Amino acid sequence: MFLEAHESGDTVYAAGLSMSALFVLLLAEEFGAKLAGGICLAPTLFFDGWNIPWYYRLLPLASYTPLKYNFYFKEGPPYGIKNEKIRGMVHRFYSNAKLKDIDGISKYGYAFFPVSLFHQLRRLARKIIPMLGRIDAPMLLIHPQDDDTASVKNSQLIYDRISSDFKKLVILTGSYHVITADQEREKVACEMVDFLDAI
């Protein structure tokens, strides 16, 4: 689909939140100038935010056992949301969510994380970090200072290592991880529009 859009003459940009932001970096490295610009929102190379339990460090061990196929973690507060009203809505949904229940996940997200997700993230991070120096597409990174899931070190590492001539790192001061839904979402949208207009 990416190549189809590019070959049709469209200008192609890519944006992603959290782990999805890592795929923006993969596109930028693989397709070079064919990607007109990338936007990484709270990119997550490492789960090192202030709300990540200490025992998450043990998850790589579980990844080498059958547990990775049937062991899930249910996300707890604050769900990446600093805004109390929005967090309350997410809490009501997550409190009643069941593992195979998909109703409402398009609005509130999925409440459960399989162990295999953490294993795959580690593999993806090991692939992406060495290639950062080969990325030269225009790149915007937006990260909350108080990210509960992935510290701002994630964006800083990416910003420091990419070779883009045009790059910008924006630090938010009033949001947690899910910056597209939290209380600075309008600022996030404005930064994205300004970035796209500038490249």
pLDDT digits over 79-125, tens only? 999 999 999 999 998 888 887 777 777 777 778 777 777 778 888 99
Calpha distance 179→17 (Å, rounded) = 8
pLDDT averaged over the chain?
Answer: 89
Give 149-159 pLDDT, tens digit per residue.
999 999 999 99
* Closest alpha carbon to 124 in 194, 44, 55, 53: 44
Eight-class DSSP state of 168: E
Return the half-sphere exposure (C-beta side, CA atoms, 13 A cut-off) of residue 117. Answer: 16
Name the pLDDT band for 59 (thresholds 50, 70, 90).
low
Instruction: State what percent of residues in the chain have pLDDT above 90.
Output: 64
Element (H, E) at 40: strand 37-41
- Eight-class DSSP state of 34: G
Q: What is the pTM of this model?
A: 0.90
What integer pLDDT is reported at residue 104 of this predicted model?
A: 74
Higher pLDDT pick, 162 / 101? 162
SS3 (DSSP) at 16: strand
Taking 90 as the threshold, does the pLDDT of residue 65 lie above it? no
Rounded to 10 degrees, the C-alpha dihedral 139/159/3/128 comes to: -170
CA nearest neighbour of 44 among 16, 66, 63? 16
pLDDT digits (tens, 9 = 90+) for 119-145: 788 889 999 999 999 999 999 999 999
Question: How high is the pLDDT of residue 67?
Answer: 64
| pLDDT for the residue numbered 152 | 98
Is the backbone of residue 29 left (phi > 0), alpha (psi -120 to 50) or beta? Answer: alpha
Backbone angles phi, psi at 36, to 5 degrees: -70, -25
